[in-house]
Structure 1
């Protein structure tokens, strides 16, 4: 991949141009990353917080509400889990019916005797991985071949 930067005062805003011989998954991933928002609104104590995506360790749904978990606090969003999943599809992966994890916060995976899989995330948060989502998780992490 070749990257060029041109700085010129004639431009009024940032402009990105992609030139490629074919449209493939790599190009699609780059485009999604460029288009993805870096911050999202979240609520706590009657205040609206602008939360940076990298600060979110995992997102979960409980009792019809969706929460963002950071290292220090839990914040509420008005979005549904599937909406958040679509918005942050590059940074997060679903690991069970009610949870998304930030790929950048995964430290390691653990398998126990009963073949149950758990992820250990930053701040030593441990979360279960459903067998239904294990293949997708491995694909997103680029591990395990085609298993």
Structure 2
């Protein structure tokens, strides 16, 4: 019954995802932690960028954008983790990285 609080530096955050059970922060090492903050709060208070209804991504960890034929895309991060991009956020994501 211990609860632990991990303090993660912003630069170590790879992405944040929202699920039924809550919002989770995933580090560049692939470690995952729960946060009480909402995606909306994190989006407004951090440099993380919205790429999907349920995901925020740290562009500092971005290695590749894989575009699918159907207009969807996927982000491949330096640690090999993948993050989905919805069509709705693809344009602003491309703009953010200067494409």
- What's 1:130 paired with? 86
- CA RMSD across the alignment: 1.3
Task: Trace 1:1-147 onto structure 2 (pairs within 5 A).
Answer: 46-70=3-27, 71-88=29-46, 91-143=47-99
The alpha carbon displacement at 1:115 in A equals: 3.2
Q: Distance in 2 between matches of 1:50 and 1:107?
A: 25
Q: Distance in 1 between matches of 2:30 and 2:15?
A: 12
* Count of aligned positions: 97
Bigger relative contact order (CA 8 A; separation at least 6) = 2
1:6-36 deviations in Å (ceiling 9; x for gaps): xxxxxxxxxxxxxxxxxxxxxxxxxxxxxxx
Give me the TM-score of the superposition, normalised by structure 1.
Answer: 0.62
Q: Distance in 1 between matches of 2:56 and 2:33?
A: 15
| Unaligned runs of at least 5 residues, structure 1 | 1-44
The alpha carbon displacement at 1:142 in A equals: 1.0
Q: Distance in 1 between matches of 2:84 and 2:68?
A: 11
| Unaligned runs of at least 5 residues, structure 2 | none
